[in-house]
């Protein structure tokens, strides 16, 4: 259940079963009474994802809380998603200081790209960090290197040379620019899931061959990908996703991943639809999503998927 707490009445909130709540969103002002109810929900169900839509330019209002002021009034936040909207960028995260139980933090929207991440250091349990922008300067890298429990990292720009070796991070997502990719295995020796979009800063994908524990790979929004390099342990790969990679022609390479379970390619016209039948050789394949521009090709694929028992509703 997703709750928009601003539009819900006090009576409606009082009758909600906390166990059924997956997410609570807050936008604008919140009264003391609703704040108390939210605290009760968070204390009862620690899995709730709290989404706070904040406008730094919003004026204060008596007996109400808004923006990051709300966060400082909540007792047990584990999962926090801050969306910054408005003409003024969010300049600091000070209200997050002291949220000791925070495990998952996401920041997006209009915020200072060099925003100080220091308040996150008090969140000793932080395991997942997602930033729409950054990492932008040495201070942010310094903080990342001090988050000792971090297991999943998603950023726009990453210079691997600025990362200290971290054997806890197993999932890495880079949404724009990757620098010094040849150092990625030294920085993340236990990386099992890697996703990259746009591939700025890359001349090739050869660095992928050094990722010995890789099981899931996603590459998107780039014309640089023609073929995959030879991976260290292809038998470990169980998921491949290629989004808007129109030059990829490596269907024969896909056949080398004998334990592949999920495959998604949304621009597949560089490969004849007849070649898709070769995927039947992959006996563990459960989900296949291939999008062809021509309707007859798409219909031919759908028939093959039905025959092979592949699910085709995998969300891209």
Domain boundaries, the chain: 1-150
Residue 57 predicted with pLDDT over 80: no
- Does this model's pTM top 0.75? My answer is yes
Beta-bridge partners for 65: 30
Average pLDDT on 271-286 reads 88
pLDDT at 135: 96
Residue listed under structure tokens 């730094």: 56
Phi, psi of 230 (to 5 degrees): -70, 115
**Would you say residue 270 has pLDDT above 80?**
no
Fold of the domain built from segment(s) 1-150: 3.80.10
Q: What is the mean pLDDT of the chain?
A: 91
Of 67, 66, 16, nearest to 41 by C-alpha is: 16
Distances (CA, A) of 117 to 95, 136, 198: 12, 11, 25
Lowest model confidence (mean pLDDT) among 22-26, 64-68, 93-97, 105-109: 64-68
Q: Which residue has the higher pLDDT, 28 or 311?
A: 311
**Lowest model confidence (mean pLDDT) among 8-22, 135-149, 265-279:** 265-279
**122 band by pLDDT with thresholds 50, 70 and 90:** very high
The percentage of residues in the chain with a pLDDT greater than 90, rounded to a whole number, is 72
- Taking only the tens place, the pLDDT of each residue in 161-219 is 999 999 999 999 999 999 999 999 999 999 999 999 999 999 999 999 999 999 999 99
Report the pLDDT value the prediction gives residue 293, as an integer from 0 to 100. 83
Q: For residue 244, which phi and psi values (nearest 5 degrees)? A: 55, 55
CB 83 within 8 A of CB 52: yes
Between CA 57 and CA 159 the distance in angstroms is 33
Question: Are 289 and 311 spatial neighbours (Cβ–Cβ below 8 Å)?
Answer: no
Percent of the chain past pLDDT 70, that is, above it, reads: 96
DSSP 152: E
**At residue 75, does pLDDT exceed 60?**
yes
Beta bridge partners of residue 220, listed in sequence order? 197, 243
The predicted model gives 257-270 an average pLDDT of 86
212-254: pLDDT as tens digits: 999 999 999 999 998 999 999 999 999 999 999 988 887 888 9
Structural contact between residues 136 and 162, judged by C-beta atoms closer than 8 angstroms:
no
């Amino acid at each position: 259940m997703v709750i928009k707490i601003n539009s819900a009445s006090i009576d409606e909130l009082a009758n909600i079963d906390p166990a059924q709540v997956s997410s609570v969103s807050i936008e604008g002002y919140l009264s003391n009474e609703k704040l108390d109810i939210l605290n009760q929900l968070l204390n009862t169900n620690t899995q709730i994802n709290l989404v706070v839509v904040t406008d730094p330019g919003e004026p204060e209002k008596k007996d109400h809380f808004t923006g990051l002021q709300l966060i400082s009034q909540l007792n047990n936040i584990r999962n926090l998603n801050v969306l910054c909207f408005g003409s003024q960028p969010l300049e600091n995260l000070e209200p997050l200081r002291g949220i000791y139980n925070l495990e998952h933090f996401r920041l997006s929207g209009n915020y200072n790209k060099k925003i100080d991440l220091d308040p996150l250091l008090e969140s000793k349990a932080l395991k997942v960090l997602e930033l729409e922008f950054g990492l932008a300067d040495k201070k942010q890298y310094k903080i990342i290197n001090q988050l000792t429990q971090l297991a999943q990292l998603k950023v726009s720009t990453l210079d691997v040379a600025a990362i200290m070796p971290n054997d806890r991070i197993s999932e890495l997502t880079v949404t724009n620019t990757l620098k010094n990719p040849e150092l990625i295995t030294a920085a993340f020796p236990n990386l099992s899931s890697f996703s990259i979009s746009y591939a700025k800063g890359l001349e090739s994908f050869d660095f992928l061959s050094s990722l010995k524990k890789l099981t899931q790979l996603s590459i998107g929004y780039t014309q640089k990908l023609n073929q995959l390099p030879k991976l260290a342990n292809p038998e470990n790969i169980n998921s491949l996703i290629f989004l808007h990679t129109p030059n990829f022609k490596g269907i024969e390479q896909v056949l080398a991943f004998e334990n592949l379970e999920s495959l998604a390619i949304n621009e597949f016209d560089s490969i004849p639809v007849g070649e898709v039948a070769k995927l039947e050789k992959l006996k563990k394949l459960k989900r296949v999503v291939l999008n062809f521009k021509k309707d007859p090709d798409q219909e031919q694929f759908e028939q093959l998927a039905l025959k092979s028992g592949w699910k085709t509703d995998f969300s891209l």
